[in-house]
């Protein structure tokens, strides 16, 4: 299962920004494994004094962005799971901004956040391993639009790249 298998009918146009960050022919499982290593290395390389930095008022800090990646992966893998099990129940949207304050990300150590990310990513990899290519092609309804199980998973990898690029451009 690679990105070249996806077609634009499998996800809302909004998510194209994340899918377009992925190289052509990225294998889903390898993308998750490689992505885990990239995220871990990237956040470990950020100087400690930059971790609670935000580039503008009401923008998330670097640690809050990492928490956002963790939370988003949980939600999108839940979507992937439900759709891959052929659940046709419409899946609700979520307000990413309200998740940050209760997460207390700013008071967590980078090591704690990376441990949490690693655990979530390993769970995602385990789920992907359990799904057949046929399961991953199933279509569902997420946030009012069509989404395939595999698109929900690929979006996570592109979303990670999107936010690493923002950190490089605006935070470091």
What are the domain boundaries of the chain? 3-170
51-88 burial string, b = 16+ CB within 10 Å, else e? bebbeeeeebbbbbbbbbbbbbbbbbbebbbbbbeeee
| Fold designation for 3-170 | 1.20.120
Q: Which residue has the tokens 């809050």?
A: 64
pLDDT tens-digit series, residues 43-59: 999 999 999 999 999 99
pTM of the model: 0.95
pLDDT, tens digit, 9 for 90 and up, residues 46-102 = 999 999 999 999 999 999 999 999 999 999 999 999 999 999 999 999 889 898 989
Residue position matching structure tokens 């929900």:
152
Of 127, 121, 153, 134, the C-alpha closest to 27 is 153
Main-chain dihedrals φ then ψ at residue 147, nearest 5 degrees: -155, 135
> For the segment 136-152, what is each residue's pLDDT rounded down to a tens digit?
999 999 989 999 999 99
Question: What is the structure's pLDDT at 33?
Answer: 97
């Amino acid at each position: 299962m690679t990105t070249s298998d996806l077609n634009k009918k499998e996800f809302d146009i909004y998510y194209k920004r994340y899918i377009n960050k992925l190289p052509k022919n990225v294998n889903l499982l390898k993308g998750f494994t490689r992505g885990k290593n990239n995220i871990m290395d990237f956040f470990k390389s950020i100087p400690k004094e930059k971790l609670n930095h935000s580039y503008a008022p009401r923008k998330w800090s670097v640690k809050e962005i990492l928490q956002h990646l963790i939370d988003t992966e949980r939600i999108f893998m839940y979507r992937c799971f439900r759709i891959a099990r052929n659940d046709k129940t419409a899946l609700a949207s979520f307000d990413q901004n309200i998740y940050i304050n209760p997460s207390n990300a700013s008071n967590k150590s980078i090591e704690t956040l990376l441990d949490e990310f690693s655990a979530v990513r390993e769970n995602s990899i385990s789920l992907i391993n359990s799904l057949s290519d046929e399961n991953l092609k199933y279509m569902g309804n997420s946030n009012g639009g069509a989404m395939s199980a595999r698109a929900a998973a690929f979006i996570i990898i592109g979303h990670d790249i999107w936010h690493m690029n923002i950190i490089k451009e605006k935070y470091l």
